[in-house]
Amino acid sequence: MKSKRAFHAVALAGLGLLWLGQASRVADADTIRRARVVSLEENEAFFAFEPGWGIAPNQNVRIKHPIRLKHPVSGAWVEDELPVGEASISMVGQRLAMVRLEAGLRALVVTGDVIEVLVPGRAIEAEPTAQEEPTKHLPLPQSDDDTLAVLATWQRTSGRRLDIRIAAWREFLRDYPESPYRERIEDDIATLEEMRTREPQDLVFDEPHVSGVDHLSPSMVDAGERLGLAFAVEEPAAVVAAWIHYRRLGDPTFRRLALRKDGDGYLRGGIEAKEVRAPGLEYFVEVAHANGQSGSAIGSPEDPRRIQVQSQNLQALRETRNRSRVSVIATYLDYATFDDRGTGDEHQDRYALFETDFLFRLRRPWLYGVRVGMGVLSGEGGFKDRPEPESAGFQYGYTEVEFRTKPTRAYLARLIAGLGRDGLGFGAEGRVRFGEEEASNLSFALSSLEDVGFLSEVRMQWVAIESLPMGFSVGVTDQPNNGDLGVRLSGDLGYRALDWFQPTLRVSYQGRSIQHSGLGVGLGMVFDW
């Protein structure tokens, strides 16, 4: 009997220890307490708390703004909260605590906002009341795909920021244009839009970096001209919204502008001309994904991208520079270097070309520049199977005009007149260029000279390194004697030795057949001022 009583005592003692251990774990648990902002003075917010909460200075708090929206399915009014920001407690009294707010955050906080305080290791005597906790979800019937989609979007956007909510619901209406809940959703969007108009544009939340967006930032733009920006997106379907935050150099705050989806895989937007002013701009891009992730994708508030903006005076000075250009090029092409079918001068097929011209850039709307020049072509051959090469020659002058519909698209037309084997002869050339003149670009050209033949060419200029422009081209021609068709592959490398001087070396391989082919070389010089 005594042993039985001793066993019961030990068991009760063990249960007591277990209960005390569980109680101590509950007492040590971290707790989130909720309060309301009761007063605002300058950059300080005050909230009331109950004795025993155990809050102290330097504790972090989260600030949220309560909102009421109609649930799109049930039509019932539902309370939710918008995240506003984070701050820390600066002073604690007997019943009131003070939170110091940064300037941007102060502009968002209003009386009645919710303060959430994480209290470490404190037991909670009472749970938060029903009025303190927002009602975010209602038990609703889930019968059809449309209803399920509405409920899923509601669940995903609950507690999220304004821009993410608006973008998600607009995406839903685009995917479900005939939704029976459309009217209620549009009412909620209108409510959120109205709230956004009252939200300062300069507040930037501290969010993580989001990958999957690529962008080549311009280094310099002209003052007073609209700045268009494009951003490549790896997974366009995953992006529900995007914004660019920008400010002038020296300004303390950013302004925000929504980006739009354009085509397959791009986000585009533009900063208005009146905002593009010297000395420069700073910007970063924020992206929101369908999975709820959002953050900076290009640059960040702490490390934004920077663009130099040249003033009107500097722009005017730049317009007077690099208006004139003189080009000189000499080229030797041999189509029969490797043709060993004969001896002596048999199957010779070669010619030399010398050209020099002067370009003046008018930089007028549409009419960009005018070029005049002269050239000499002299050679022999043009056929792959004629043992006796025929001489060829043409001395000519030309005038060329360049039209532009935009900075990245140019149309060039050239008229040619000269003396050839049969006397006076004429020719013409047309060229289309996509891309900036001094940057990477792609051009297509077609020319024809009387008594000489035609040349069609595709050329790509690649400027990966500013001082080392490279070019690659492929052409089809029957020059120098209206002969057999031949293919010409060439590459050139320039070197910007000085601001006003650039030599260029060109090498080529050309042929009219596998047996009848050869090498070529050329040297050019460009002078700018």
The per-residue DSSP string of 95-118 comes to SEEEEE--HHHHTT--TT-EEEEE
CB proximity list for 493: less than 8 A, separation 6 or greater:
468, 469, 470, 471, 504, 505
Q: How confident is the model at residue 443 (pLDDT cuts 50, 70, 90)?
A: very high
pLDDT, residue 255, reads 81
Q: With pLDDT > 70 as the criterion, what percentage of the chain qualifies?
A: 81
Q: Tokens 């003149």 label which residue?
A: 437
pLDDT, residue 248, reads 85
pLDDT above 60 (res 17): no
Q: Which numeric CATH code is attached to 321-400+462-528?
A: 2.40.160
pLDDT digits (tens, 9 = 90+) for 163-194: 777 777 887 888 788 888 788 788 878 877 77
pLDDT, residue 415, reads 97
* Fold topology of 31-120+140-197: Thrombin, subunit H (2.40.10)
Closest to 506 in 3D by CA, of 330, 326, 384, 288:
330
* Fold topology of 213-316: Immunoglobulin-like (2.60.40)
User: Distance between CA atoms of 474 and 472, rounded to whole angstroms?
Assistant: 7
Q: Where are the beta strands (DSSP E) in 311-465?
A: 324-334, 350-361, 367-380, 391-406, 409-420, 423-434, 441-449, 453-462
User: Distance between CA atoms of 216 and 525, rounded to whole angstroms?
Assistant: 30
User: Distance between CA atoms of 250 and 274, rounded to whole angstroms?
Assistant: 17
Residue ranges of the domains in the chain?
Answer: 31-120+140-197, 213-316, 321-400+462-528
Q: How confident is the model at residue 22 (pLDDT cuts 50, 70, 90)?
A: very low
Q: How confident is the model at residue 433 (pLDDT cuts 50, 70, 90)?
A: very high
Q: How confident is the model at residue 267 (pLDDT cuts 50, 70, 90)?
A: confident
pLDDT, residue 78, reads 74
Of 35-39, 122-126, 347-351, 444-448, give the range with the top mean pLDDT.
444-448
CB atoms within 10 A of CB 462: 14
pLDDT digits (tens, 9 = 90+) for 494-524: 998 888 899 999 999 999 999 999 999 999 9
Handedness of CA 176, 177, 178, 184 (dihedral sign): positive
pLDDT digits (tens, 9 = 90+) for 404-416: 888 789 999 999 9
* Weakest-pLDDT range from 74-78, 196-200, 236-240, 475-479: 196-200
Of 75-89, 100-114, 385-399, give the range with the top mean pLDDT.
385-399
Phi/psi for 155 (5° steps) reads: -65, -40
Q: Is 443 helix (H, G, I), strand (E, B) or coil?
A: strand
Q: How confident is the model at residue 463 (pLDDT cuts 50, 70, 90)?
A: confident
Radius of gyration of the chain from its Cα atoms, rounded to whole angstroms: 37
Closest to 278 in 3D by CA, of 223, 337, 358, 317:
223
Whether a cis peptide bond, with omega within 30° of 0, leads into 120 is no
Please list the alpha-helical segments (H only) found in 290-333: 312-320
Closest to 519 in 3D by CA, of 492, 494, 477, 490:
490
Burial of 376 (0-12, 13-18, 19+ CB in 10 A): middle
Q: Spell out a b/e string for 150-159, using b for 16 or more CB atoms within 10 Å of the CB, else e.
A: bbebbebbeb
Query: Which residues are paired to 46 by β-bridges?
Result: 39, 98
Q: Spell out a b/e string for 121-142, using b for 16 or more CB atoms within 10 Å of the CB, else e.
A: ebeeeeeeeeeeebeeeeeeee
Stronger pLDDT, 79 or 475, i.e. the higher one: 475
DSSP letters of 52-87?
A: T----TT-EEEEEEEEEEE-TTT--EEEEEEEEEEE
pLDDT, residue 236, reads 81
Phi/psi for 499 (5° steps) reads: -60, -25
Please name the helix (run of DSSP H) or strand (run of DSSP E) that holds residue 27, with its range, or none. Answer: helix 2-28
pLDDT, residue 394, reads 94
3-state SS of 168-214 is HHHHHHHHCCCCCCHHHHHHHHHHHHHHHHCCCCCCCCCCCECCCEE
Chain mean pLDDT for the chain: 79
pLDDT, residue 177, reads 83
* Weakest-pLDDT range from 379-388, 452-461, 476-485: 379-388
Q: Spell out a b/e string for 293-329, using b for 16 or more CB atoms within 10 Å of the CB, else e.
A: ebbbbbbbeeebbebebbeeeebeeeeeeeeebebeb
pLDDT digits (tens, 9 = 90+) for 216-258: 878 788 787 888 888 888 888 778 778 888 888 877 777 888 8
Please list the alpha-helical segments (H only) found in 393-452: none
pLDDT above 80 (res 153): no
pLDDT, residue 221, reads 82
Q: How far is CA 99 from CA 14, 92, 127, in A?
A: 46, 9, 24
pLDDT digits (tens, 9 = 90+) for 121-144: 544 444 443 333 443 443 444 446
DSSP designation for 226: -
pLDDT, residue 6, reads 43
**342's tokens:** 């004969």
DSSP designation for 8: H
pLDDT, residue 9, reads 41
pLDDT digits (tens, 9 = 90+) for 289-327: 766 566 788 888 778 888 888 765 544 445 556 789 999
